[in-house]
């Protein structure tokens, strides 16, 4: 009887121990499972973060690739176009999120260095082209001057009016070619190509107009008070500039309309004012003309268009080199007004008309109407602007004295009134009617029919041109 309870107790003890062991195992299993689940959760979060990070990097890489492609396809072509045409804009970033970043700075550096390289190469190519053209135009210009001299000699040699007319036509065509070559050479940095003597401004303007087709439409009004002349070194540059401005006026106005040229004198210089009655210029064209005529910026030959329009560019080069000024604006007559201002110091002088008379082709100065008095006052002339100029011959009657000039003004002097002016009953106020080319040829032919003795008595040097100078 006693063995049964012991056995039962033993069984109960064994069962309790097994239950405890089982409970411990269960608890440990649950703890391990929880720890495993925690580890799995952390790994999943890391995987998710890693996946998200990889996605962002891929998107950024694609955005950078798109920016690089945009740089190659759009921004670099825009840059090359903007270098040639500054008014064109260069597009910015494709994605605004890159603004201010390292990527933006790197792409900007690419644009800057590419622009500098393109500009340098463009200037090098343009300089080579200008050098080639400069050499070619200098050679051609020298040949054209030789041809001009030969034509002038033939005009003196032959008396046949028909031959003289043909020679005049050939000389005029040669002058057209010479003007185009000369302007192109000046744009390319060449010297104007002529050495002249001091020349009256009125003669210079007449000579400039004679270089152009349609010269008979140019009406010159001489409002100069004094026999103003341009110094030798600036004669040809001023003549080229006036010629190109007149060419523009004649080209942009109807062939039946005149081009008015007025010579004005101020206290510190003289001006040539050119007015046409043409179609005028658009504001952007006028601004472009002002930029070319100012001579401020370095000009590339490739910027003059195709074919190059070198007239205003040549004038701008001469303005920068010789110190006179050119201004263009809308004309009160509806076209364009161009003003060439020549400062008295150092580009003007005054010549002695008794020792160096003005050409008969130059327009006479405008004379004001004489006051109603018992005598006619003597006209006054300006004294020389430079030292060493001979003074005028004293008039038979004592000329009125003038007060001392103010600082910067031209001094005054009197001169003897020529006999031809004394014999005139009234001052000449209207220009002589324009002659046709046939009339000019006939008059020239008649002039060539002088006697051999008269030619032998003439001076050995060639006659002065309308600008008061012989070609060298």
Residue 94, judged by CB atoms within 10 A of its CB (0-12, 13-18, 19+), counts as middle
Which pLDDT tens digit goes with each residue over 354-397? 888 988 888 888 754 434 433 333 333 333 333 333 333 333 33
- Residue 262 confidence (pLDDT) above 90: yes
**CA 336 vs CA 292, 295, 329: distances in Å:** 16, 20, 6
Buried (b) or exposed (e) across 216-238, using 16+ Cβ within 10 A?
A: bbbebbbebbbbbbbbeebbbbb
- pLDDT, position 203: 94
- pLDDT, position 328: 95
Q: Which residues contact 444 (CB under 8 A, 6 or more apart)?
A: 155, 164, 168
Task: Tell me the whole-structure pTM to 2 decimals.
Answer: 0.65
- pLDDT, position 52: 67
Quote the mean pLDDT of the chain: 77
- pLDDT, position 20: 59
More confident residue, 365 or 227: 227
- In angstroms, the CA 80 to CA 406 distance is 55
Lowest mean pLDDT among 23-37, 65-79, 95-109, 120-134: 23-37
- In angstroms, the CA 105 to CA 99 distance is 8
Lowest mean pLDDT among 48-62, 98-112, 332-346, 357-371: 357-371
- pLDDT, position 427: 45
In terms of residues, how long is the chain? Answer: 472
Report the pLDDT averaged over residues 424-437: 48
Query: Among 338, 299, 341, which residue's Cα sits nearest to residue 319?
Result: 341
- In angstroms, the CA 345 to CA 70 distance is 57
- pLDDT, position 436: 56
Q: Check: CB of residue 222 under 8 Å from CB of residue 228.
A: no
Report the pLDDT averaged over residues 411-427: 42
- pLDDT, position 382: 38
Q: Which two tokens stand for residue 325?
A: 């000024």
- pLDDT, position 303: 80
Report the pLDDT averaged over residues 102-122: 91
In the three-class reduction of DSSP (H, G, I as helix; E, B as strand; rest coil), residue 414 is classed as strand
Q: Which two tokens stand for residue 323?
A: 């110190």
Calculate the CA 147 to chain-centre distance: 31
More confident residue, 3 or 236: 236
Report the pLDDT averaged over residues 190-212: 90
- pLDDT, position 260: 95
- In angstroms, the CA 361 to CA 409 distance is 29
- pLDDT, position 330: 94
- Residue 47 confidence (pLDDT) above 90: no
More confident residue, 270 or 387: 270
Which pLDDT tens digit goes with each residue over 439-459? 555 554 554 454 344 444 544
- pLDDT, position 360: 84
- Residue 49 confidence (pLDDT) above 70: no
Lowest mean pLDDT among 189-193, 224-228, 389-393: 389-393
Report the pLDDT averaged over residues 13-32: 63
- In angstroms, the CA 387 to CA 400 distance is 23
DSSP state of 96: G
- In angstroms, the CA 26 to CA 34 distance is 12
Report the pLDDT averaged over residues 85-99: 86
Q: Bridge-partner residues for 381, per DSSP?
A: 413
Which pLDDT tens digit goes with each residue over 204-215? 999 999 999 999
- pLDDT, position 376: 36
Report the pLDDT averaged over residues 48-62: 76
- pLDDT, position 174: 93
Report CA torsion sign: 341, 343, 347, 352: positive
Share of the chain above pLDDT 90, in %: 40
- In angstroms, the CA 276 to CA 146 distance is 34
Report the pLDDT averaged over residues 339-366: 89
Share of the chain above pLDDT 70, in %: 67
Q: Which residues contact 233 (CB under 8 A, 6 or more apart)?
A: 322
């Amino acid at each position: 009887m006693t063995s049964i309870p012991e056995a039962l107790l033993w069984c109960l003890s064994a069962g309790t121990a097994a239950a405890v062991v089982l409970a411990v195992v269960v608890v440990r299993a649950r703890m391990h499972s929880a720890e495993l689940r925690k580890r799995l959760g952390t790994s999943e979060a890391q995987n998710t973060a890693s996946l998200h990070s990889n996605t962002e990097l891929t998107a950024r890489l694609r955005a950078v690739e798109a920016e690089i492609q945009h740089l190659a396809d759009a921004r670099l072509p825009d840059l090359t176009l903007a270098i040639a045409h500054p008014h064109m804009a260069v597009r910015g970033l494709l994605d605004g999120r890159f603004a201010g970043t390292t990527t933006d700075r790197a792409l900007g550096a690419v644009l800057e260095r590419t622009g500098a390289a393109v500009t340098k190469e463009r200037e090098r190519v343009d300089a080579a082209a200008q050098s080639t053209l400069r050499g070619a135009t200098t050679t051609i210009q020298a040949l054209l001057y030789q041809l001009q001299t030969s034509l002038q000699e033939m005009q003196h040699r032959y008396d046949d009016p028909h031959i003289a007319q043909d020679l005049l036509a050939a000389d005029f065509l040669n002058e057209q070619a010479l003007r185009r070559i000369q302007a192109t050479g000046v744009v390319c940095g060449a010297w104007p190509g002529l050495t002249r003597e001091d020349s009256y401004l009125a003669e210079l303007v007449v000579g400039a107009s004679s270089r152009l087709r349609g010269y008979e439409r140019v009406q010159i009004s001489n409002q100069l008070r004094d026999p103003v002349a341009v110094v030798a070194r600036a004669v040809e540059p001023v003549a080229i500039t006036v010629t190109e401005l007149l060419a523009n006026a004649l080209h942009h106005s109807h062939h039946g309309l005149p081009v008015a040229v007025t010579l004005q004198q101020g206290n510190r210089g003289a001006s040539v004012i050119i007015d046409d009655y043409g179609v005028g210029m658009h504001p952007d064209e006028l601004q472009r003309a002002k930029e070319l005529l100012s001579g401020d910026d370095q000009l590339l030959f490739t910027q003059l268009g195709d074919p190059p329009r070198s007239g205003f560019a040549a004038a701008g080069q001469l303005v920068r080199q010789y110190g006179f000024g050119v201004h263009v604006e809308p004309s009160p007559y509806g076209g364009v007004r161009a003003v060439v201002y020549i400062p008295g110091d150092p580009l003007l002088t005054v010549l002695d008309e008794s020792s160096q008379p003005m050409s008969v082709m130059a327009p006479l100065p405008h004379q004001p109407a004489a006051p109603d008095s018992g005598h006619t006052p003597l006209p006054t002339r300006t004294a020389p602007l430079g030292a060493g100029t001979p003074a005028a011959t004293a008039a038979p009657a004592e000329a009125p004295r003038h007060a001392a000039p103010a600082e910067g003004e031209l001094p005054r002097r009197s001169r003897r009134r020529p006999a031809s002016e004394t014999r005139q009953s009234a001052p000449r106020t209207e220009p002589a009617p324009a002659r046709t080319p046939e009339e000019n040829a006939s008059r020239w032919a008649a002039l060539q029919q002088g006697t051999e003795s008269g030619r032998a008595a003439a001076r050995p040097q060639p006659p002065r041109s309308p600008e008061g100078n012989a070609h060298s």
